[in-house]
Amino acid sequence: MTKRDGEYAPAAIESKWQERWNEADLFRAEIDHDKPKHYALTMLPYPSGDLHIGHWYAMVPPDARARWMSMRGYNVMYPMGFDSFGLPAENAAIKNNTHPGKWTYANIERMRGQLRSMGNMFDWKREAVSSDPEYYRWTQWLFLKLVENDLAYRKRAPVDFCPKCNTTLAREQCIGDDRLCERCSTPVVKRDLTQWFFKTTHYADELLDFGKFDWPQRVLTLQDHWIGRSKGAEVTFTTEAGDDLTVFTTRPDTLWGATFMVIAPEHPLVEKLTSDEQRDAVEAYVAEATRATDIQREAADREKTGVFTGGHAINPVNGEKIPIWIADYVLMTYGTGAIMAVPAHDTRDFEFARKFDIPIRIVIAPEGEEPPAVEDLTEAYVVKGPMVDSGELTGTPADQALPKAIAYIEEKGSGKGAISYRLRDWLISRQRYWGCPIPIVYCDSCGIVPVPEDQLPITLPDDIEWKPTGESPLKLHETWKKTDCPTCPMEAERETDTMDTFMCSSWYHLRYLSPEHDQGPFDQEEYDYWMPVDSYTGGIEHATMHLIYTRFFHKALRDAGVVKGDEPMSQLRNQGMILGEDSEKMSKSQGNVIAPDDLVQRYGSDTVRSFLMFFARWDMGAPWNSKGIDGTARWLKRVYSLIPGGVDDAPEQADAAVLRQLRRKTHQALQRVTRNFEQYQFNTVVSSLMELLNHMTDAARAGAVGSSEWDESCRLYVLMLAPVAPHLADELWHEMGNEDFVHRQSWPEVDAEAAAEDEVTLVVQVNGKVRDKIQVPADVTKEKAEELALASDAVKKHLDGRDPRKVIVVPGKLVNVVG
């Protein structure tokens, strides 16, 4: 080998190797029972038009890890596809007067090319596109499975509606305290509509079981809060008219302190409970509450409002007759839409009672303490202690109060222990065109009829007016909705709403298994081999949307007998976000967007890949730094010029010590890189490689080139580089005389002996402060280390004549003399 002359020219190298990998079908993933499988999955992109640097950040480090897994002997599948139904296509269609599909598929074509420029090990034969009829045929089929298994239903309910997107939204798609539309940030409003729902709440408890998989604690906490399980009781009060009025409470032990009840303005009993004298006031209040948006209603700091119905109910534990009020701080969507109010011990009820001058009664008091007089209370009396003034249960200690109160009401037949969830069923109907049609037909005589399997897919019509009106464009189509009833000779109408696109993305990992399979959503043999997903990567923003939906979907399909296992993704890791150079979120209007195409053109894919792995902790993200990438570019240039030929003007031969050190540094780097890949710590993978290159440069200058140690270092270096900078690695690998692709090589084993230090720097401390450093053999004995430390001049000086009281020796590391 001689020193290299040419400059590093990534463009030529990268296109050459991408072509050769393609020709060899190198990344085709096929079932191989002789190898352990590894299903690597990155959340699929929406085909918005251009690949963003964020897409690279989401896809490239996981690609490096997938390649590393492959070199470690795993049969790796890393598929990619497009989540291609959705609103932006319709908005673009309206703007440019083109069909949403045309826009979508043009974008997909463009993005495929951009994705290829990453040099990722995607198996393109497994590509799945959710707006293809061959894909959504099975989305519809899966919908029918849920219907069949009683996990889908149609209901008229107040639903969240985005006036700008002109469609309903799932609860999860209304973001933040302002309840903004997830897509366009417009405040959502309530509408009363008949819509399709999935019973996510059916799996609320199972969705809280996080014991079966390795996901970040952060995501689990978010899901835990989102599901929001509360334990308590349902208690039934009786109204004057004899109707049951059931409330949910987490504090059945305070039942004796209930001095009024509150029902939500939308509660079905409002009409019946209202007395003639109160009718005008109630109607005015309900009208007002309906007009107010959820934002205004749910603001916690807003002063309580409400109105008396004129009606009363009987408290089942003590037979007391208490007034029923209407107030918008009680939500129809949580619990039963009605509460018993215990103003003494609940801040909200207290505030309400004081405002409307309703009696307050204390029923909990700390052990051995006299409770204050109610008229002296300035806020709710939130205390722990035994029950007081509570009939037969008076005196029940705090730790027994809940079970005893529940047992008491159960015995009386007026209630039972109950659990309430914050999670709501998933509203999947959307009044838009560019989505998967819901395969349902409405017949005047048969009612709701699922479309038979053999008539799938129900495809979207192309001749359509897609201007949003708040109604589904499919509804306004002249002929599309007209059909024959599948079960009787009558004419019938198709469902004209389409499905939430989260439905399409809840099962895409299954379509990748066999995207061309036409006998079912996936090929069972592929499923049995590849599932579950071993490494799932994507942004944290999906914690309470996609990641809950896909878990729900898997469980629903399991119970429908379609899939096996309890969880679809065994391991999840989240990447952070790349901000603009100004530390703001990247956006076109901010003018701080970094375009990966430009970077690839200027630096080459390998440099962009390496920099994305290096510049920040992957799970944290960071602001972009356009200067920083030059450092990574320099590194790869130096790799290219050093390996394998070395440097000019070096001695013929190196000392044995130099060669020994070269081997040591090489194997130490291998040790670190291996561990860092395992733990998704991509930044230190690259920094370890940079560090090793610095050592190799020193060794080359000291004459190491030509030795077997040098050759080994070069070989290991290129193998370690392969997942990070795959094109350059293959180029160097072949220059070094190898025939096969570097990506088909095995990940090297660490030679522990080579990595071991034979001399270590012994840190010598006096009272915990570093005072000296002594070179000693790595296997120095405790006694010898202590002796050497005590003999040190620096130690003697800092002991200042005192005798050491204690000497702590950490073998091979440090001696601390306490004096």
Partner RNA sequence: GCGAAAGUGGCGGAAUUGGUAGACGCGCUGGAUUUAGGAUCCAGUGGGGCAACCCGUGGGGGUUCGAGUCCCCCCUUUCGCACCA
Binders of RNA among residues 65 to 94 (CB under 7 A) are: none
User: What residues have CB less than 8 Å from 588, skipping those under 6 apart?
Assistant: none
CB 764 within 8 A of CB 773: yes
Cβ of residue 799: shortest distance to RNA, in angstroms? Answer: 13
Binds RNA (CB under 7 A): choice among 334, 356, 442, 529: 334
Q: Which one of 331, 388, 419, 754 is in contact with RNA (CB under 7 A)?
A: 331
How many chain residues are in contact with RNA, going by CB under 7 A? Answer: 87
- Choose which of 26, 622, 754, 790 interacts with RNA (CB under 7 A): 622
Residue 112's nearest CA partner among 64, 54, 45, 57 is: 45
Crossing angle of helices 10-24 and 726-735, in 10° steps, is 90
Interface with RNA (CB under 7 A), residue from 39, 57, 615, 733: 615
Site for RNA (CB under 7 A): which residue of 104, 249, 505, 610?
249
Q: If phi over 0 gives left and psi between -120 and 50 gives alpha, with beta otherwise, what is residue 410? A: alpha
Residue 374 near residue 360, CB atoms below 8 Å: yes
Please select the residue that binds RNA; options are 304, 404, 517, 734, rule is CB under 7 A: 304
Site membership for RNA, residue 638 (CB under 7 A):
yes
Give, in order, the Cα–Cα distances in Å from 660 to each of 105, 576, 666, 688, 745: 57, 40, 10, 19, 25
Does 575 bind RNA (CB under 7 A)? Our answer is no
Q: 420 φ, ψ to 5°?
A: -120, 150
Give the one residue of 41, 64, 330, 548 binding RNA; rule: CB under 7 A: 330
Q: Which stretch binds RNA (CB under 7 A): 18-26, 116-124, 333-341, 546-554?
A: 333-341
Stretch that binds RNA, among 101-109, 249-257, 278-286, 747-755 (CB under 7 A): 249-257
Cβ 169 to RNA, closest distance in Å?
A: 13
Q: Residue 239 Cβ, how far from RNA at the closest point, in Å?
A: 18
Residues between 385 and 424 that touch RNA (CB under 7 A): 420, 422
Q: Which of 37, 348, 475, 784 binds RNA (CB under 7 A)?
A: 348
According to CB under 7 A, which residues from 272 to 301 bind RNA?
Answer: 297-300
Integer Cα distance of 418 and 400 in angstroms: 17
What is the 3-state composition of the chain as percent helix, strand, coil, each rounded to the nearest 5?
40, 20, 40
Which segment (378-386, 519-527, 759-767, 782-790) binds RNA by CB under 7 A? 759-767
Classify burial at 759, counting beta carbons within 10 Å of its beta carbon; exposed 0-12, middle 13-18, buried 19 or more: exposed
Q: How far is the CB of 681 from RNA (least distance, A)?
A: 6
Bridge-partner residues for 443, per DSSP?
447
Specify the residue for token string 């959820």. Answer: 294
Position 698, amino acid:
D
- Token representation of residue 609: 């890949």
For the segment 671-700, give every residue that binds RNA (CB under 7 A): 681, 683-684, 686-687, 690-691, 694, 697
What's the Rg (C-alpha) of the chain? Answer: 34
**Two tokens, residue 7:** 């400059």
Stretch of residues binding RNA (CB under 7 A), selected from 24-32, 316-324, 546-554, 769-777: 769-777
Residue 395 near residue 428 (C-beta atoms within 8 A) = no
Instruction: Supply the minimum distance, in Å, between the C-beta of residue 529 and RNA.
Output: 34
| Closest of 769, 771, 788, 792 to residue 780, by C-alpha | 788
* 3-class secondary structure per residue, 301-316: CCCCCCEEEEEEEECC
Q: Taking CB under 7 A as the criterion, which residues in 214-243 touch RNA?
A: 217-218, 221-222, 225-226, 228, 230, 232
Q: Nearer Cβ to RNA, position 490 or 620?
A: 620
Of residues 332 and 449, the one with the C-beta less far from RNA: 332
Interface positions, 504-563, toward RNA (CB under 7 A): 540, 544
264 lines the binding site for RNA (CB under 7 A) = yes
Instruction: Find the binding residues for RNA in span 12-51 (CB under 7 A).
Output: none
Per CB under 7 A, the list member of 98, 275, 601, 761 interacting with RNA is: 761
The region of 98-106, 133-141, 456-464, 623-631 touching RNA under the rule CB under 7 A is 623-631
765 near RNA, rule: CB under 7 A:
yes
Closest to 549 in 3D by CA, of 162, 215, 207, 217:
207
- Phi first, then psi, for residue 773 (nearest 5°) are -135, 130
